[in-house]
Amino acid sequence: MLSRTRTSAVAATAALALTAGLAVTGAQASDRQEPRKEAAWTAAWAASPQRASTGFKPNWSEDGFSGQTLRQVVRVTEGGDRARIRLSNTYGTSPLHIAGATIARTKKGAAVEAGTVRRLTFEGRRSVSIPAHSQLSSDKAGLGLKPFDSVTVTLHLARTTGPATFHAQSFATSYRAEGEHTGDTGASAFDASTESWYFLSGVDVGSDKPRRRGDGIVLFGDSITDGFASSTDRNRRWSDALADRLADEGTPRPVLNAGIGGNLVLNDSAWYGERGTARIGRDALDLPGVGTVIVLAGVNDIGFSESDTPTYKPAPKVSAAELIAGHRELIRAAHAKGVKAVGATLLPLGGSDHYGERAAAVSEEFNAWVRSSGEYDAYVDFDKALADPADGERIAPEYDSGDHLHPNDAGYRAMARAVDLAVL
């Protein structure tokens, strides 16, 4: 259950100044944010950027793209009468040239609904070059979307991109075609697929209808937030489950996912992204319309040193005091942006490759701090919600994906049920 820990001035002023996105100057993306004249934008979908890496499944990030069209499918959790995309070349080492881009409502797989394809522009131009280490937003497109619509974003990458900024574990299928196919409604040209997202970091919606500012909820964390072990192409992450539950209870709100598999609070990783304390602004707090962040993070900080997995070695042995200090940084960052900060206890990890006596002791001490310190504005107790009644150190069998660390689809739904919506 999500519990009140204190009455925060932040909670009373949870509205953010909505971010307009990084504008494009001529044919180049600028790092300067520029106010838009149209109504404010709200983030409807998001993915946190990562540097190119091998990953757990085959992906195209290290090879990049050349003379190809990339088609990616995402599900929005907010509706509007116009849409735009956000693109990231954050980890690129050279300019990224977008020769053309479209957005459309998804039909099935790589196919899109006829009559919904909208050509995207960037300050009126159909093509744009994004400098290395930069990001940008497109102009608005007149595409009406409802909450939970599936949206297809298609990019023509005519020039060689080099290694691609991407999101490794999408649990959704992306498609690739040779040549230029941004306007295709059919799927026949898209004969290659992968389970990652490339360059696409967000879809925003806008509307002339009044809406509450700062309504968005962003979930920040590691693979459990990212949705590891959830069913591919079925939108079964805990972020999806929370958005579904909010809608079912008559209180719909946009829910954004800022998880990265393997991410740590205190340390950077080539595979698992920048440390949480460094990326929370870009990936969570600066998303347009966000007023609440729910933080579930730390199991990798304490568990990688117990694991034989060679993807993060040598892993430091992190104490509870060090992890708590990292979370205090996250809380300060949220409050500095006027965002309500909700903490979460770590899930049981007994039987997993992250488990050991030291990790168990640190997890217990950290969870006690989340519950009792009052430093987060509120908390949700995933440890208790998903624990096996017969063994509190393990995830209940009905919620266990099989690795004793990540929930299955039912476990992610149980996480959403654990949240007291009234506190949000």
Task: Give Cβ neighbours of residue 262 (< 8 Å, ≥ 6 apart).
Answer: 222, 223, 269, 271, 272, 273, 300, 311, 312
Question: Nearest 5°: CA angle at 195, between 161 and 137?
Answer: 50
Across residues 288-309, what is the average pLDDT? Answer: 95
Kindly report the average pLDDT of the chain as a whole number.
91
pLDDT digits (tens, 9 = 90+) for 207-238: 988 777 789 999 999 999 999 999 999 999 99
User: To the nearest whole percent, how much of the chain has pLDDT over 70?
Assistant: 91
Identify the weakest region by mean pLDDT among 13-22, 89-98, 195-204. Answer: 13-22
User: To the nearest whole percent, how much of the chain has pLDDT over 90?
Assistant: 85
Tokens standing for 374?
């009052």
pLDDT digits (tens, 9 = 90+) for 163-183: 999 999 999 999 999 999 999
Tokens standing for 295?
């933080």
What DSSP string runs through 152-203?
Answer: EEEEEE-S---SPPEES--SS-EEEEES--TT--SSTT--EEES-EESEEEE
Identify the weakest region by mean pLDDT among 43-57, 72-86, 102-116, 308-322. Answer: 308-322
Which pLDDT belongs to residue 314? 83
Across residues 314-325, what is the average pLDDT? Answer: 95
pLDDT bin (cut points 50, 70, 90) of residue 39 is: low
Neighbours of 278 (CB within 10 A): 16
Across residues 314-331, what is the average pLDDT? Answer: 96
pLDDT digits (tens, 9 = 90+) for 104-155: 999 999 999 999 999 999 999 999 999 999 999 999 999 999 999 999 999 9
Reply yes or no on whether the pLDDT at 339 is more than 50. yes
Q: Is 168 exposed, middle or buried (0-12, 13-18, 19+ CB in 10 A)?
A: buried
pLDDT digits (tens, 9 = 90+) for 347-370: 999 999 999 999 999 999 999 999
pLDDT digits (tens, 9 = 90+) for 252-277: 999 999 999 999 999 999 999 999 99
Reply yes or no on whether the pLDDT at 5 is more than 70. no
Instruction: Indicate the pTM of the whole model.
Output: 0.91
Which pLDDT belongs to residue 313? 82
> Is the peptide bond between 288 and the residue preceding it cis, with omega within 30 degrees of 0?
no
Tokens standing for 370?
């989340």
List C-alpha distances in Å: 252 to 19, 233, 381, 416, 424: 21, 22, 22, 14, 12
Which pLDDT belongs to residue 300? 97
Identify the weakest region by mean pLDDT among 12-16, 69-73, 235-239. Answer: 12-16
